[in-house]
Amino acid sequence: MHTAHNQAIGEATGKIILMGEHAVVYGEPSLAIPFPKATIQTTVTQSTGPVTVDCIYHKGLLSTAPEHLANLVTVVDVSLKALKQELKNFSLHIISSIPAERGMGSSAAVAVATVRALYNYFDEPLSHDQLLELVNVSEVIAHGNTSGLDAAMTSGETPLYYIKGQPFVPFSLSIDAYLVVGDTGVKGQTREAVGSIAALMKSNPKETSQDIHRLGELADKAKIAIEHNQPVELGKLMHQAHLILTKLGVSNEQLNHLVEAALNAGALGAKLTGGGRGGCMIALAENEAAAREIAHALSDTGTSNTWVYHLGGGSIE
């Protein structure tokens, strides 16, 4: 039996889907990257009595946490069972800069950070596969089905190419460009957006499957553009993807305004990211100065937050 530390920390990052959202549901490829500019940290501290949690959504007993913290409650439960430990005598403190329900993977990230913190606290080794298993089991219990993309992205450091049902394929982010991320400040509506495409698939199957397939082709081309350091080409592909996603009804006015503002401010391309109808958009900039200009234009147009991220060296500013 290992003795617990007095305190232990676990961390995770956000994620951004570059290309292939929605199409991935229908077996087409997608590209996603870890987003280390938005992070989450869970601290486990020794205490006595029932487990408490301190985060922006809840301060008090874990057992009385609100419904939208179901994933946290579940991941703690699943992890303690695996660790053969009891649900008592520690507190959880969670600090996050990943906005919730914006397609940045905050739910999986809180689970990743918490599993890591608990394993550190109880001084047990944790393999990457074990971590993914625990996070995915909790995500399925708390949210229903999941592709596993968020768990993989928020726990790793590698960009991934993903086709449903196939292993994740790491790819190299060898593109010298900047990504600007704009948060509409409004929760994304992934479930509704996925449902509306499913409805289109029924009412207009031929055209909808063509559009979905085209999104997959764009994701494949984007991977090649990234690997060959072709920012201008990548920007064009992103723009085309946004137009198709809009046609499929998963964008909204606010996202379209931000995309337009980014293009007017000199972006090489811009699109929504994730489920859409709220959440975040991304824009590609050829250099840092251009990225800052785009970020300003986005703030002026109405974002709750913007991030500028250097894709090339994977460096964090």
| Residue selected from 10, 235, 275, 278 as contacting ligand PMV according to rule CB under 6 A | 275
The minimum distance between CB 136 and ligand PMV, in angstroms, equals: 13
Q: Please give the distance of CA 306 from its chain centroid, rounded to a whole number.
A: 15
Answer for which of 55, 194, 201, 308 binds ligand PMV (CB under 6 A) is 194
Nearer to ligand PMV, 25 or 70 (CB): 25
Residue that the structure tokens 């292993």 belong to? 167
Among 9, 25, 169, 308, binds ligand PMV (CB under 6 A): 25
Binding residue (CB under 6 A) for ligand PMV from 43, 52, 190, 306: 190
| C-alpha distance from residue 86 to each of 83, 90, 278 (Å) | 9, 10, 40
Our finding on whether 11 is near ligand PMV (CB under 6 A) is no
Cα separation, 113 vs 43, in Å, equals: 9
Half-sphere exposure of 169 (CA within 13 A, CB side): 12
Q: CB 139 → ligand PMV: shortest distance, Å? A: 11
Q: Select 139 or 233, whichever has its Cβ closest to ligand PMV.
A: 139
What percentage of the chain's residues is helix, strand, coil (to nearest 5)? 45, 25, 30
- Does 188 engage in binding with ligand PMV (CB under 6 A)? yes
**Site pattern 74..93 for ligand PMV (x: CB under 6 A):** --------------------
Burial 130-169 (b: 16+ CB within 10 A, else e): ebbebbbbbbeebeeebebbbbbbbbbeebbbbbeeeebe
* Stretch 142-171: interaction string toward ligand PMV, x if CB under 6 A: -----x------------------------
119-123's contacts with Cβ under 8 Å and 24+ in sequence apart are 119/10, 119/79, 119/83, 120/5, 120/8, 120/9, 120/10, 120/44, 121/4, 121/5, 121/7, 121/8, 121/44, 121/90, 122/2, 122/4, 122/83, 122/85, 123/2, 123/3, 123/4, 123/5
Q: Does 183 bind ligand PMV (CB under 6 A)?
A: no
Closest CA to 104 of 170, 174, 40, 191: 40
* Alpha carbon of residue 102 to chain centroid: 8
**Which 100-129 positions form the footprint of ligand PMV (CB under 6 A)?**
103
Number of residues that bind ligand PMV (CB under 6 A): 13
Single-letter code of the amino acid located at 62: L
Cα Rg of the chain (Å, integer): 20
Mark the segment that binds ligand PMV (CB under 6 A) among 73-81, 263-271, 274-282, 297-305.
274-282
Region binding ligand PMV by CB under 6 A among candidate stretches 52-60, 201-209, 214-222, 271-279: 271-279
216 binds ligand PMV (CB under 6 A): no
Q: Which one of 21, 28, 139, 233 is in contact with ligand PMV (CB under 6 A)? A: 21
> Of all residues in this chain, which one has the CB nearest to ligand PMV in the complex?
274
Residue 92 tokens read as: 């959880």
Q: Which is nearer to ligand PMV, 198 or 232 (CB)?
A: 198
CB of 113 to ligand PMV, least distance (A): 17
Write out the residues near ligand PMV by the rule CB under 6 A: 17, 21-22, 24-25, 103, 147, 188, 190, 194, 274-275, 279
